[in-house]
């Protein structure tokens, strides 16, 4: 029997093929419709969106830093300005190997080898697309060197920026401060968007305290770039419509300082270590604020090297230290006018009370001797004469009568023991001792007791009592105003650089010390007497006066002299000699300037500090300042 043979069904296969073809065609048609719809969406419906997006791939937004505001003195002389400079900048995302790039830049001498780690940390602290300055103020030779090797450094370029410049160098540097590269610490406290493209920020003094006013508002511009990120004018037929937002310059600062008086103060100090502060008693304007030695702020503006910075730190004279605001010293006899006024206010003395000065003072019931100063002995002296001739014995006894509690309370009214509130940072408060302070300052019970001998030393500005030169100038301005104080200020206004409109800051008045007119007059007579006759400053600051000066000398001990020893400055190392003080205001009848001068290790106040103060007062009063 023959086997069954299956015959192929061609019609069925044909139908199956047709069905599959139809299904495939339907799928292709559906996909084509979806593709067409997507193309319509991309090309028509969202055309503007994707045009902007594609534009962003070849148009880069570059920040335009705002010009920093100028700083001018009270007469309009520019003391801080902006000048064009070339600096080396790096964009991290465009650099293949950051460490290798920095190393090769050091090899060709564009960055110091010792600054590589600092440069790397600075770059890494910014966003990857930020242009970060790694070297400020390139000279012509360095620019030429980079131009030759430019192709070797993708992501590194030279840009023109405005750099801060101080035309008078180190003059008034501790008042003005300086600008430096934005550090990691700065980035943690500033608005990064507001500082995009900015390379420098105020570090000290006015530059730091008024950073907000000086900084301005940065702008931006769109630039066309190629695939390598380089700026180009056009890409093929594409010529973009690039937008620019202009920056707004920072406000100009109007200083209360008089540059001529400031220059006089610093030249008078010369190479000596010290400070000079001059204040207008009528409003608190700081006419001069000098601290010597100083340093050139332009060094920081161009980018100080580690070697240069270390040299400043290691300098035995400490040029970076602001003696005017941060130096604390015993006041010496400059505090005697306040002690005299305290005695009058608390009725522990009258103007007619006389004491006999035999050159030494002993506390009742004690054998310890407190010696008179340079003059040795004064004989019988009254309160006015005691101020004028700076009789220590008189004030030893007066301080013992007043007591430490009243002295501390009264001196606090002059601002001692607290900051004056000047409009720049870094000020120290000094030290105003009291019974309570001593209990907290010492751990051993026997050291926490306040002894009568400490009150006696307090009365002539020795012992624990410490002041800053700024505090003494502030105190002198209160004496000049007979109790009224104005908060010291270095800046008294700002100016809009576009319109020229000036906005002045009102002075801040503070009522500090209350005493009767008669009590004030006694103190004034004593201070005026210091510049006349047998007064301690008559032969120096008081010589050939053309206007009346009221002042007080002071000599602050650096180390203690034994009971049976005599101080001989010629036998003492220079840095262990007494500090020299002088405070004064003038004209005495209508004060226009109050001055405090410190000369470290300068010896007696009458010979070290007083002549400097006279030069400063002459520079202001004889040219009509404050009139």
| Weakest-pLDDT range from 25-29, 535-539, 570-574 | 570-574
Task: Say if CB 314 and CB 374 are below 8 A apart.
Answer: no
The verdict on residue 6 lying in a domain is no
Average pLDDT over residues 530-543: 91
- pLDDT band for position 571 (50/70/90)? low
**Alpha-carbon radius of gyration of the chain:** 37
The catalytically annotated residue of 131, 331, 333, 390 is: 333
Average pLDDT over residues 436-450: 94
> For 267-281, what is each residue's pLDDT tens digit?
999 999 999 999 999
Please tell me the predicted confidence (pLDDT) of residue 2: 54
Do residue 487 and residue 611 come from a single domain?
A: yes
- pLDDT band for position 239 (50/70/90)? low
Do residue 245 and residue 275 come from a single domain?
A: no
Of 199, 229, 255, the domain-final residue: 255
Residues 584 and 436: their CA atoms lie apart, in Å, by: 32
| 593, two tokens | 């300037």
Clarify whether 333 is annotated catalytic: yes
Closest CA to 579 of 273, 205, 202: 273
- pLDDT band for position 73 (50/70/90)? very high
Please tell me the predicted confidence (pLDDT) of residue 136: 81
Average pLDDT over residues 13-20: 82
Residue 411, burial from CB neighbour count under 10 angstroms (0-12, 13-18, 19+): buried
Of 255, 273, 289, the domain-final residue: 255
The verdict on residue 470 lying in a domain is yes
Average pLDDT, the chain: 88
The verdict on residue 8 lying in a domain is no
Within 13 A of 591's CA, how many CA atoms are on the CB side? 28
Do residue 266 and residue 405 come from a single domain?
A: yes
What is the domain-level CATH number for residue 145? Answer: 3.90.1310.10
Closest CA to 426 of 223, 174, 246: 174
Inform me whether the pLDDT recorded for 238 exceeds 60.
no
* Beta bridge partner(s), residue 59: 224
Do residue 224 and residue 357 come from a single domain?
A: no
The verdict on residue 315 lying in a domain is no
Domain that holds residue 396: 259-298+320-621
Do residue 73 and residue 190 come from a single domain?
A: yes
| 418, two tokens | 């607290």
Inform me whether the pLDDT recorded for 462 exceeds 70.
yes
The verdict on residue 156 lying in a domain is yes
DSSP state of 562: P
DSSP string for 141-153: HHHHHHHHHGGG-
Which runs of consecutive H residues, i.e. helices, occur in 244-297?
A: 259-269
The verdict on residue 28 lying in a domain is no
619: enclosing H helix or E strand = helix 610-621
Do residue 350 and residue 201 come from a single domain?
A: no
Closest CA to 348 of 397, 401, 408: 401
> For 296-349, what is each residue's pLDDT tens digit?
999 888 778 888 889 999 999 999 999 999 999 999 999 999 999 999 999 999
Closest CA to 214 of 86, 63, 80: 80
Of 198, 231, 255, the domain-final residue: 255
Total count of domains within the chain:
2
Inform me whether the pLDDT recorded for 160 exceeds 90.
no
Residues 508 and 529: their CA atoms lie apart, in Å, by: 31
What is the domain-level CATH number for residue 381? Answer: 3.40.710.10
Residue 94, burial from CB neighbour count under 10 angstroms (0-12, 13-18, 19+): middle
Average pLDDT over residues 428-448: 94
Q: What percentage of the chain carries pLDDT values higher than 70?
A: 92
> What would the 3-class secondary structure string for 189-231 be?
CCCCCCCCCCCEEECCHHHHHCHHHHHCECEEEEEEECCCCCE
The verdict on residue 419 lying in a domain is yes
* Comparison of pLDDT for 532 and 574, the residue scoring more: 532
Inform me whether the pLDDT recorded for 516 exceeds 60.
yes
Do residue 285 and residue 432 come from a single domain?
A: yes
């Amino acid at each position: 029997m023959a086997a069954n043979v299956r015959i192929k069904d061609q019609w069925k296969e044909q139908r199956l093929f047709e069905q599959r073809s139809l299904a495939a065609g339907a799928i292709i048609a559906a996909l084509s419709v979806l593709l067409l719809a997507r193309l319509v969406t991309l090309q028509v419906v969202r055309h503007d969106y994707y045009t902007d997006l594609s534009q962003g791939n070849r148009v880069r937004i570059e920040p335009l830093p705002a010009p920093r505001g100028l700083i001018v003195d009270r007469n309009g002389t520019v003391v801080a300005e902006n000048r064009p400079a070339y600096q080396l900048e790096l964009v991290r995302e465009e650099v293949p190997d950051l460490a290798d790039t920095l190393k090769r830049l050091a090899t060709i001498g564009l960055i110091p080898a010792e600054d590589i780690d600092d440069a790397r940390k600075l770059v890494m602290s910014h966003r990857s697309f930020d242009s970060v300055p790694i070297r400020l103020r390139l000279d012509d030779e360095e620019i030429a060197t980079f131009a030759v090797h430019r192709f070797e450094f993708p992501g590194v370029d030279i840009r023109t920026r405005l750099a801060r410049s101080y035309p008078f160098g180190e003059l008034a540097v501790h008042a003005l401060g300086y600008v430096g590269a934005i550090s990691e610490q700065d980035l943690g406290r500033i608005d990064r968007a507001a500082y995009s493209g900015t390379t420098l920020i105020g570090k000290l003094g006015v530059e730091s305290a008024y950073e907000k006013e000086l900084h301005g508002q940065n702008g931006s511009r769109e630039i066309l770039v190629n695939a390598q990120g380089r700026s180009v004018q056009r890409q093929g037929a594409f010529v973009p419509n690039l937008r620019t937002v202009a920056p707004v310059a920072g406000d100009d600062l109007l200083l209360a300082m008089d540059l001529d008086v400031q220059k006089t103060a610093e030249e008078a100090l010369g190479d000596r270590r010290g400070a000079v502060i001059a204040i207008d008693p009528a409003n608190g304007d700081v006419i001069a604020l000098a601290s010597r030695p100083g340093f050139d702020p332009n060094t920081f503006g161009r980018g100080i090297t580690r070697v240069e910075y270390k040299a400043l730190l290691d300098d035995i004279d400490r040029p970076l230290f602001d003696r005017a605001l941060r130096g604390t010293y015993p006041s010496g006899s400059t505090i005697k006018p306040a002690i005299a006024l305290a005695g009058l206010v608390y009725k522990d003395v009258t103007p007619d009370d006389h004491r006999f000065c035999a050159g030494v003072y002993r506390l009742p019931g004690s054998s310890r001797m407190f010696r008179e100063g340079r003059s040795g002995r004064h004989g019988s002296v009254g309160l006015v004469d005691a101020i004028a001739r700076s009789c220590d014995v008189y004030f030893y006894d007066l301080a013992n009568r007043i007591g430490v509690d009243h002295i501390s309370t009264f001196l606090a009214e002059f601002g001692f023991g607290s900051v004056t509130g000047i409009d720049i940072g870094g000020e120290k408060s000094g030290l105003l001792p009291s019974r309570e302070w001593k209990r907290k300052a010492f751990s051993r019970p026997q050291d926490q007791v306040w002894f009568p001998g400490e009150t006696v030393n307090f009365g002539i500005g020795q012992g624990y009592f410490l002041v800053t030169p700024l505090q003494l100038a502030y105190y002198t301005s209160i004496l000049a105003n007979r109790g009224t104080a104005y908060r010291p200020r270095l800046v008294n206004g700002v100016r809009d650089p576009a319109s020229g409109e000036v906005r002045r800051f009102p002075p801040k008045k503070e009522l500090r010390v209350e005493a009767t007119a008669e009590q004030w007059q006694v103190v004034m007579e004593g201070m005026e007497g210091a510049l006349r006759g047998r007064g301690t400053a008559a032969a120096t600051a008081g010589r050939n006066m053309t206007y009346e000066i009221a002042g007080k000398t002071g000599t602050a001990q650096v180390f203690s002299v034994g009971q049976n020893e005599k101080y001989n400055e010629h036998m003492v190392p220079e840095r262990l000699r007494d500090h020299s003080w002088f405070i004064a205001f003038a004209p005495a009848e209508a004060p226009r300037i109050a001055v405090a001068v410190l000369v470290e290790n300068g010896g007696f106040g009458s010979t070290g500090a007083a002549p400097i103060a006279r030069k400063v007062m002459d520079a202001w009063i004889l040219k009509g300042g404050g009139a």
